[in-house]
A and B are shown apart, each in its own frame.
Chain A
Amino acid sequence: MATDLKSSVIIEVAELTKRFDEVNAVDGISFQVHPGEFFGFLGPNGAGKTTTINMLIGLARPDSGSIRIGGLDCRKNPKAAQHLIGVVPDESNLYPELSGFDNLCFCGALYGMGKAERVARATRLLEDFDLTKAAHRRFGGYSKGMKRRLAIAAGIVHRPQVLFLDEPTTGIDVASARSIRQLLADLHGSGTTIFLTTHYIEEAERLCDRIAFIVNGRIVKTDGVASLLKPVHDRYATLINGTGLSPSFLGDLSSSFPGLDFQQHSQDRIRVESSSPIHIGPIVKLLEDRGVAVTEARRLQLSLEDVFVQITGIEADAMKKEKMKAAA
């Protein structure tokens, strides 16, 4: 039984640590990824996501701990597992002066594919990724969405068992992001193990089987998406907007409605949470009696974002803005 469990793990990380000067970028993290799984790695900027991914793919050396990919010890022999993995970094690392087709052929050659094989594979991938028309154009002239699609194609040109994706939809338009999510879902459907880092929590919720939250170099929670969402499925939340709605009302509201949890969401907004359906009428009446002009009360669908906020204490919006600022 133990052997079966072991063989069903494709990435095994134990007590992985990496320090930069006085900072513990990655602080003793452990996790496992199973074959064919879509594994999400979520955390704010500077949480240690990229450092972890760099150690897994062989671009950084851990200070301690172990990494095994496909059963191969990546610390003892960092090059050993590189034929099993494909990598799609957050920024394109293809050659701007080469065409899309030549880039794919070159990437195939780096993994030892013969000429006929890589030409056939590149042609097929360009078709699958809807890039055939742009195949012989310079990669430098591609749009951001096309660049990202070709980068993913380059990551899987050698048919890796595990694909590492770092922020695949950051900085691209909505249509391209949707098409990339579909491509990733198809890849996952074909049996490729995918390791995804993203700051789009809803993307992770939609795509991933399991997710690890990483904060300050430590994994604070790892679980299946369904299990992570379970606590919020039994919760109800409503957002109330109103002119003059300030934190000073929170005490009053909490004492008047003891079963409800009130929080200031932002300027002129209060969030109400409860384990049972929320009757909004009495709350609105109380606020209006106190001189607040209530403009809207909207039921919120609780999501993984709320789970993330609960577990990490980090506002997801703040994380998103921070990341977009960095991308810009």
Chain B
Amino acid sequence: MKAWIAFWNIVLKDMRAYYLKPPNISWGLIFPVAWTAMFFIKSGRGLDDVLAVLPGVVAISILFGTTSMLAVTVTFEKKGRSFERLLLAPIPLELLMLAKTGGAVLFGVVNALVPVAIACFLADLSRVAWGAVVPAVVLIAVASTFMGLFIAVSVSEIFEAQTFSNFFRFPMIFLCGLFFPIDALPVLLKPLAYVLPLTYGVDILKGGFHGGNIMPLPLNFVGICLFCIVLFYFSLKNIHKKWIS
């Protein structure tokens, strides 16, 4: 019970201190809108294309929102030593890091709601399989957040966190089937798509929004869950190795 008081207050503190700040709210709104507009204009197929573009826009909104925020906030707190205060709290490291990532996951989920809300006015979403879309959104948010955590514990400066994030994020836009089908990738690049967590999340979204998934949904769920576990495990291992050495 006592540990959960700490957990909840860390989440609340991060929401107040970082995620609910006006610049981040505007980032959460403007970024998905800009991506949506860009791909509509590029596709040239108008409103018919909303459902085709939506999985990619939702995924990219989550990816950029969560990885940027978590990598920067954790690095910022580490640099300012306030992260030390959290490490000194008598709660298990696993729970502490789940609390630390909790705010970013919520931020990612809220980011995903923006393009979906816009799409409500532009397309018929009555046939969307929300039972697949909602857990996929949450899992993409968790996987991206854990990727942000992995980045945060691998660097020591805020600018390094940004650079390292982009090293993962930009290739994922092109390799994970967000806007360019994986089947259309060059043979040498195709295997790369399957070692990136977003591929599985986007495939679930495609299945949920318009039935265009290329892998079975259970396989996608298992794939993205495995990535979440592996990323969290290695992040904790790195924290032990680098911050409590």
Chain A residues near B (Cβ < 8 Å): 57-61, 78-79, 82-83, 85, 87, 89, 91-98, 106-107, 109-114, 154
Chain B residues near A (Cβ < 8 Å): 1-3, 5-6, 8-10, 13, 17, 80-93, 243-245
CB contacts (< 8 Å) of A57 on chain B: these are 88
With A89-B84, A93-B81 in contact, do A82 and B89 touch (Cβ < 8 Å)?
yes
Cα A154 to Cα B92 in complex, Å, equals 20
Q: Establish whether residues B9 and A110, one from each chain, have CB atoms under 8 Å apart when the complex forms.
A: yes
Shortest 4 CB-CB distances between A and B: which pairs? A112-B2, A109-B9, A82-B90, A110-B89
Cα A114 to Cα B13 in complex, Å, equals 15
Q: Establish whether residues B84 and A109, one from each chain, have CB atoms under 8 Å apart when the complex forms.
A: no
With A61-B244, A61-B245 in contact, do A95 and B88 touch (Cβ < 8 Å)?
no
Cα A176 to Cα B147 in complex, Å, equals 44
**How near does chain A come to B114, taking the closest CB pair, in angstroms?**
25
Q: Report 11 cross-chain contacts, Cβ distance below 8 Å, ordered by A residue.
A: A57-B88, A58-B244, A59-B88, A61-B245, A78-B244, A82-B88, A89-B81, A98-B13, A111-B90, A112-B1, A114-B5
**How near does chain B come to A157, taking the closest CB pair, in angstroms?**
11
Interface residues of chain B: helix, strand, loop or mixed (majority): helix
Cα A214 to Cα B91 in complex, Å, equals 32
**How near does chain A come to B180, taking the closest CB pair, in angstroms?**
40
Cα A34 to Cα B6 in complex, Å, equals 30
**How near does chain A come to B160, taking the closest CB pair, in angstroms?**
21
CB contacts (< 8 Å) of A106 on chain B: these are 9, 13
With A112-B6, A154-B85 known, 20 other A-B pairs at CB within 8 A are A59-B87, A60-B245, A61-B245, A79-B92, A85-B88, A89-B81, A91-B81, A93-B82, A93-B85, A94-B85, A95-B13, A96-B80, A98-B17, A106-B13, A109-B9, A110-B85, A111-B2, A111-B6, A111-B90, A112-B90
Q: Establish whether residues B244 and A59, one from each chain, have CB atoms under 8 Å apart when the complex forms.
A: yes
**How near does chain A come to B192, taking the closest CB pair, in angstroms?**
37
With A59-B244, A61-B245, A93-B82 in contact, do A112 and B88 touch (Cβ < 8 Å)?
no
With A89-B84, A106-B13 in contact, do A60 and B244 touch (Cβ < 8 Å)?
yes
Cα A99 to Cα B213 in complex, Å, equals 49
Q: Establish whether residues A113 and B5, one from each chain, have CB atoms under 8 Å apart when the complex forms.
A: yes
Cα A154 to Cα B89 in complex, Å, equals 12
Q: Establish whether residues B6 and A109, one from each chain, have CB atoms under 8 Å apart when the complex forms.
A: yes
Q: Establish whether residues A110 and B244, one from each chain, have CB atoms under 8 Å apart when the complex forms.
A: no
With A94-B82, A98-B13 in contact, do A112 and B245 touch (Cβ < 8 Å)?
no
With A59-B87, A61-B245, A98-B13 in contact, do A109 and B81 touch (Cβ < 8 Å)?
no
Tell me the nearest residue of chain A to B17, going by C-beta.
A97
CB contacts (< 8 Å) of B82 on chain A: these are 93-95
Tell me the nearest residue of chain A to B241, going by C-beta.
A61
Cα A85 to Cα B87 in complex, Å, equals 13
With A58-B244, A91-B81 in contact, do A79 and B90 touch (Cβ < 8 Å)?
yes
Contact of A58 (CB < 8 Å), options: B2, B8, B10, B88? B88
Tell me the nearest residue of chain B to A87, going by C-beta.
B88
**How near does chain A come to B243, taking the closest CB pair, in angstroms?**
8
Q: Establish whether residues A112 and B3, one from each chain, have CB atoms under 8 Å apart when the complex forms.
A: yes
CB contacts (< 8 Å) of A93 on chain B: these are 80-85
CB contacts (< 8 Å) of B9 on chain A: these are 106, 109-110
**How near does chain A come to B15, taking the closest CB pair, in angstroms?**
13
**How near does chain B come to A55, taking the closest CB pair, in angstroms?**
10
Q: Establish whether residues A95 and B17, one from each chain, have CB atoms under 8 Å apart when the complex forms.
A: yes
**How near does chain A come to B100, taking the closest CB pair, in angstroms?**
12
CB contacts (< 8 Å) of B3 on chain A: these are 112
**How near does chain B come to A69, taking the closest CB pair, in angstroms?**
12
Q: Establish whether residues B85 and A107, one from each chain, have CB atoms under 8 Å apart when the complex forms.
A: yes
Q: Establish whether residues B89 and A111, one from each chain, have CB atoms under 8 Å apart when the complex forms.
A: yes
**How near does chain B come to A160, taking the closest CB pair, in angstroms?**
10
Tell me the nearest residue of chain A to B5, going by C-beta.
A112
Tell me the nearest residue of chain B to A97, going by C-beta.
B17
Cα A40 to Cα B98 in complex, Å, equals 37
Tell me the nearest residue of chain A to B8, going by C-beta.
A109
Q: Establish whether residues A110 and B86, one from each chain, have CB atoms under 8 Å apart when the complex forms.
A: yes
CB contacts (< 8 Å) of A111 on chain B: these are 2, 6, 89-90
